[in-house]
Every structure is written in C-alpha cells, then in structure tokens.
Amino acid sequence: MILPQEFYFEDTTKVAKQLLGKVLNIKTKDVKFRARITEVEAYLGVEDPACHTFGDRRTPRVQSMYLDGGHSYVYLIYGMYYCLNFVTRTPDHPEAVLIRAVQPFEADAKPKRKDLTTNGPGKLCRRYGITKDHDGLRLWKKNSLLYVSDDDFKVKNQDIVATTRVGVDYAGEAAQWPLRFYIKDNPYISRK
DNA sequence: GGTTCGATGATT
DNA sequence: ATCATCGAACCG
C-alpha cells in the first residue's frame, strides 16, 4: 500500500527508521523502477547545524523543506550529484530524511550479484534519473513521479543500525548525533 | 560581483 | 589524500 501523507508528520528520527524497508517507486519517461530503502539519515531542521534549514534559513534551494511532510526535496551537491530527501513534519519544523541507499528489486537488478549503482545518495539519483524535476513532489500520490509504498517486508528494530551521519564534520557537535540508520547486514549500504 | 564551500563518488 | 565540477550561499 502507498504510505499516507500522515506517515511523514511524525518525529523525523522515527520516520527515518520506519522508512527502512519501504519501497521507493520511480517513474521515468517509459520505465518504472522499484527499490527497497536500505539506508537513511535524519536532518532535524532549525536546530541541526548539519541541516540545510539550520537557523530557519529560507533560501530558494530549500523551499521544498518548508512544505508539509510527505513532499520530496531534491538538491544538487558538489555540482554533480543530486540527493533525494523526504520532507517530514510541518512547515514550522522544516526537517527531512535523506535517502542514502536502496536495494533494486530483482526485475531491475540485471547483474546477478550486488548492484553497485544504488548504494549512495548521489549514485541512486543518477541510477534512476532523479533530478531537480523530482523536487517538491507529493510522495503519497500514486500518480506522482515518485511515491513510497509498503509491502509485507518488515524490518525489526533489532535489525536497525544507528550511527553518525556521513559528510557533516563541519557541523560540530551535531556530527556525533546518531541519525544515520541502515538495515543490518544488508549489502546495499553506502561507504564507511 | 567575487569568493568559498559542499548531506558525493571515483581514483591514487 | 586528492580531485572533479558548479550551483548556492555568503559577503559586502
């Protein structure tokens, strides 16, 4: 089933963990992809120095983060890679979950073994053609280019690994916050 | 208008 | 450890 918008209104850390194992549905020109979310990071808004909305910053880039929970937020990083996020909570709490890695479904995974093209936030966007065009989309709508659904796959709390976020050394104390989550023993995880 | 920097990834 | 690559953010 498709996840309702309310799913994204909850506490961002909680939403991040609950997103593990959920299914990302991507529509391109004529192809559809499905992939299971295996790694995420939570970004806690105005009080999180690592978050783009830290200090209630309202630049054009982060507009989508001030939409209601359940919208996508896509930005360009290092001039080369896009990163996909799901906005959480409400406009007065501009927070989000970064999708860091996914596991392609069998039909998509041409290589027999591990597909090395979806285990990183930049890589998965490149793999599925996710660009600025995918910014601000409604993730709870089935006709959206991007939407998120549920199936019978369950991730036990016990199988969630929590650790520090990647690439946020500049954020001081916040660099140590355990806001990166991934599925234990899953091969589709980004570096480190 | 100029400068700095980055929620990355590939390579050495 | 280094670099590719460039839009944003920041400064003034």
pLDDT exceeds 60 at position A70: yes
CA distance A140 to A100: 20
Name the band, by pLDDT with cuts 50, 70 and 90, for residue A23. Answer: very high
Using a 7 Å cut-off to protein CB atoms, list the covered nucleotides of chain C.
Answer: 4-10
Q: How far is the CA of A136 from the C1' of C11 (A)?
A: 30
CA distance A160 to A185: 9
| Model pLDDT for residues A98-133, shown as the tens digit of each residue | 999 999 996 555 555 677 899 999 999 999 999 999
Provide the pLDDT for residue A28: 79
Tokens of A83: 């990163």
What is the share, in percent, of chain A residues with pLDDT greater than 70? 95
Q: Strand C closer than 7 Å to the CB of A35?
A: no
Provide the pLDDT for residue A191: 77
| Model pLDDT for residues A160-180, shown as the tens digit of each residue | 999 999 999 999 999 999 999
Provide the pLDDT for residue A26: 95
What type of residue sits at position A135? D
What is the share, in percent, of chain A residues with pLDDT greater than 90? 91
Q: Strand C closer than 7 Å to the CB of A57?
A: yes
Sign of CA pseudo-dihedral A168, A174, A179, A185? positive
* Strand A160-163 to A146-149 pairing: unpaired
Name the band, by pLDDT with cuts 50, 70 and 90, for residue A43. Answer: very high
